Every structure is written in structure tokens, then in C-alpha cells.
Amino acid sequence: MAGEGRATPRWLDLIWLLFLACLAALPPQKEWHKQIILGLIGLFQLTEGPFLRFLAGRGLRSPGGEAISVIIKLALATQLMMHTSDLGINSSYYPIFYLPVMTAAMYFGPLGTLLWTLAAAGAYCSYLIPALRGEFTLTATGKGDLSLRIIFFFLLAMIVNRFVMVYRKQTFGYQMLAETLSVANQNLEKAQAEARRAERLAALGQLSAGLAHEIRNPLAVIKGSAELLSQKLTDSDAIAKELSGYIYTEVNRVSALVSRFLDFARPSRLELRPLPLAPVIERALKYLADQGHTSRLSVHCDFTAGLPQVMLDEELCEQVFINLLLNACQAMGEQGGELNIRTLEAESDGEPKVVAEVEDSGPGISLEMREQIFNPFVTTRKSGVGLGLAIVAKIVDAHGGDVRLVNGKGPGACFRVSFPRAEDLQPTT
């Protein structure tokens, strides 16, 4: 049964210890150095993972820890050979060098594997030093056996490394696939959420349209009655005349609210034609100035000359900028402030767009509200209805553009509206 958090199951560790026990039981049995070295090999093999994590925790990054691991196994293999034969080179335990060779093949690439295998071959051939001194003679058969063993070192190393590289490639492919699937799942969840939101908004729009039409008729009757009542009353009935004035004012306010509901609920029927964006913004700004909304503000316009035209429904786009500019004026309140309006050409979602920015010097919008600010009935003002930005988003979306709340130059809110260029939308011949 696999241990939790382990790279290998425990039963493989038990088999590994069983193999080492079999080596310990083979001749020479009375060589205690051999038993100690085999025990150290088994202990290090079982604790190699924690050992590498320990080194990584001390700041030794890969492949430093892996190199130390291979060196330790090379040293233990060399010591085992020394204690299992008088000459070392004659030891039948020479396959123990497969352990550092395979470890290097699993940790390093092809070049690293070759270099570490060469180091293992060098450690194995180090037992030939006495032969160079004339202490023994290496026969032709011995030279052939030695060459064959070293060739098998390299053969085993490259076979293991090849499988490891294939495994790494497949693992990387699976990781990339998992990341792609994760992104696809996130996009799917987002699309599902947008679809649910669109369904709710569609139902809300139908309800709003029905209620607005039903409310408008009695409002017209109440408004007409209030006007007649005000005309019939004499100056002596001051209280009644004041109350009829309240009725008339509040009916106008409710009527304006119903009109906003209808603006949000009705489908956008666009009459598009190529137009420059700056004059549309100027007309919206003039409308607000005529209403007295910009009297306490310092208005700065920076319209880039020579911008491409955009496909606009002039009336609806004017309403977009009236809503955005009115929000900015209301955010700065009675104390006033600075209103900056810019137009430029910039990339949005990888495509060139004509961009307009409306930035105020008000208190800004909190991070909690940024994700919801374009939803209907979401507002930062106590007296607000929360339809202005929802209508803006709806109209801009219908134009194939987008509106975003971005970070401006100051602490206030900055809304960026992007429209496709007319030349990109018109068919080419």
C-alpha cells in the first residue's frame, strides 16, 4: 500500500531491502565492512528523497543536490568493491556501480548522464592503479571483460535516460494538457456564469418592460390630475397647492425612472454610420454643462487629432457619455474637482481600437465594487438606481466595443470605452 506523500509505495522499499539482504548473505559473509556499506546504501536509498528536500531547504538548488546524491552512491559503490575483493577490480559486486549510473540517468539529461557514467567508469577503473605499479598483470581476457563491463555501464545509462526523458516529455505534456483543461474549465464556468447572468437579465428586462408600461399609464393620469388640481386651486389654498406641486415633482421623478427601466429593457436597435468620436463626447459634455452639472468642475479635454472614425449610433453613444460624465460629476459632489476626458488610439484585446477615457478626481470605487459596477441595480450612491452603467455596458457591447474601469492617474475612477475602428468593420473589396 502506497504511503501518503511518498514517490514510491512501501512494498517496493521492502523489496529493495530484501535484495540488499540477499547481497549481505552472499560471500564474503564474514566481511563486516561489506554489511555496513550495504546497510548505508539501503539507508541512503530509502532517505534520498528527504535528503534532497533537506538540501533544497538549505538553499542548494537543483542539480546540486542530485549531484551530491550521485557522488555519495559512487563513494559507497567504490568502498563496497574494495571490501569484497583483494584487488577490487575482480569483485563480483561490480554491478553496484549501476546504482549511481541509473541515479544519474534519472536526474540529468543525456550529456549529464554520459559525464556521470564516465565518472563511474573512472571510479571502477581506479582499481587498475596497482596494475600500473606492476603489482598484478591484467590479461587480455581481463581487458575484454573490463571493457565489456564499462560498455554495459554506458548502455544501461543511456537506456534508462531515454525512458526517463520520454517520461518527462509525457509528464510535461500531461501538465500542459491539465493547465489547458483548467483554463478551459475556468472559461466554461465563466461562460456558464455569463449565460446565467444573461438569462437573469433577460428575465429582469422583460419584467422591467412590462412593469414600466403598466406604471406609465397611471403616472400620466396622476401627473395630469396634479396639473389640473394646481390650476384650479387659488392662492388661499397654499398648502394644497404645495402638495400638488410635490405630486407633480415626484411623478416626474418616477416617470424618469421608468424611462431608464425602458432604456435598459428594450433591445438596442442601432443605426450605425462612421463618425468621429470627439464631437459625440463634446455634445454630451455641453448637455451636462447646460444642466449645470459641470459648474463646479475643472474640465480638461485631450482629444487626439486624426483618430480613425468609428461605427456609431450617434444618439445612443451620446447617452453613453452623458451617463459616464454624469456619474463623474456626481462622484465629485458639491466640492467639485477635475474632470479629464481623453481620446486616443490603443490596442484592446490585441486589436487597435479608438478609446475614450473619462477620469474624475472623486473618491474612486472600492475593490469590492469593481467586479459588480456594471451589473444593474448596483450603485455607490444612496439615491442611485444603479442602471446608468448597466445601460452604458449594454450600448457599448451592442457596438462591438467594451467599457472597463481602469486605474487612472489619480485616486478617482477612470472609465475606458473602446470602439472598433470603422475601417476594420467595413467590408473590403
Of the candidates 176, 223, 203, the one whose C-alpha atom is nearest the C-alpha of residue 264 is 203
* Cα angle value 142/147/153 (rounded, 5°): 130
Look at the domain 189-265 and name its fold: Helix Hairpins (1.10.287)
Q: Count CA atoms closer than 13 A to 68's CA, side-chain side.
A: 14
Q: What is the pLDDT of residue 383?
A: 61
Q: What is the pLDDT of residue 372?
A: 78
- DSSP β-bridge partners for residue 311: 274
* Cα angle value 91/95/99 (rounded, 5°): 130
Q: Where are the alpha helices (DSSP H) in 4-128?
A: 10-25, 32-57, 64-82, 98-107, 110-125
CATH architecture of 273-425: 2-Layer Sandwich (3.30)
**Alpha-carbon gap, residue 99 to 157, rounded angstroms:** 10
Sketch the domain layout of the chain as residue ranges: 10-138, 189-265, 273-425
Q: What is the pLDDT of residue 5?
A: 42
Q: What is the pLDDT of residue 384?
A: 62
Q: What is the pLDDT of residue 1?
A: 38
Cell of 261: 427601466
Q: Record the pTM.
A: 0.50
Q: What is the pLDDT of residue 331?
A: 85
pLDDT along the chain (429 residues), means of 10: 49 79 76 85 87 85 87 92 79 90 92 94 88 78 90 94 92 92 90 78 69 74 78 71 78 74 66 91 90 86 91 89 90 85 84 91 82 74 71 86 85 90 69
